[in-house]
A = this chain, B = another copy of it.
């Protein structure tokens, strides 16, 4: 079905994603989306009835295509806890590197539409309970110190995602605004984050 040229629906989705990501839902402009998609405003409403529905389409598409497959793949292909942490952070940070604005996009929707967002994740098949069990097993086996598994999970996500959310600020404040320095910093975190966590949860 896909020729060498994106169809209109796809072009709109792409342009809309960029706009929503950069300016949030309230700040996004339908005119800007139309311009960047190379069409006009009327066509936006022809394909997606309203700004709200367009946002919803963009959002669920982004999650389904970009985030979930890779998360599932990592979680289901590795059983050793420390290796799981290393692989997960490595791939997660790689995905983020290729889509550095998505975290903001997600966070905005989480905060403006909590239920919709929660439902998408709950229905996504994310093996949350399995990860918790894995961590609990590792604790019982003495591989990990006693710790609430959810603390580890939240910490891992926090350490991975936040540097992208606050990029522009931290790049200015901590790296004199030098883009390359922050890129290198983010790159180093592909291994640093995992080691930081592992060091902290290994028993004495």
Residues of chain A whose beta carbon lies under 8 Å from any beta carbon of chain B: 22-27, 101, 104, 106-108, 110-112, 114, 117-118, 121-122, 126, 128, 148, 150-151, 153-155, 157-159, 161-163, 165-175, 177, 185, 188-189, 192, 196-197, 199-200
> B151 and A158: CB pair below 8 A?
no
A-B contact pairs, 29 of them (CB 8 A): A24-B24, A24-B27, A24-B108, A25-B27, A26-B27, A27-B112, A104-B111, A106-B169, A108-B108, A110-B165, A114-B169, A117-B169, A118-B172, A122-B173, A128-B173, A128-B174, A148-B192, A150-B174, A150-B175, A150-B185, A151-B192, A157-B170, A158-B158, A158-B161, A162-B165, A165-B165, A196-B200, A197-B200, A200-B200
Q: How far is the CA of A159 from the CA of B154 in the complex (A)?
A: 8
Q: A107-B104, A110-B169 are in contact. Are A174 and B153 (CB under 8 A)?
A: yes
Asked if A112 meets B162 with Cβ closer than 8 Å, knowing A121-B173, A174-B128, the reply is no
A118, B151: Cβ atoms under 8 Å? Answer: no
CB-based contact A172/B24 at 8 Å: no
Considering the chains assembled together, what is the distance between the CA atoms of A83 and B112 in angstroms?
37
With a CB–CB cut-off of 8 A, which chain B residues contact A165?
Answer: 107, 110-111, 162, 165
Residues of B within 8 A of A22 (CB): 111-112
Least Cβ–Cβ distance between A59 and chain B, in angstroms: 12
- State which of B104, B112, B118, B185 has its C-beta within 8 Å of the C-beta of A173: B118
Instruction: Known pairs A128-B174, A150-B185; list 6 more (Cβ under 8 Å).
Output: A24-B26, A104-B111, A121-B173, A151-B192, A153-B174, A165-B165
On chain B, the residues within 8 Å of A111 by CB distance are 22, 24, 101, 104, 165, 168
CA distance A118 to B167 in the complex (A): 10
In the complex formed, the residue of B with least CB distance to A120 is B169
The reply to whether A168 and B23 contact each other, CB–CB distance below 8 Å, is no
| Chain B nearest CB, measured from A150 CB (Å) | 5
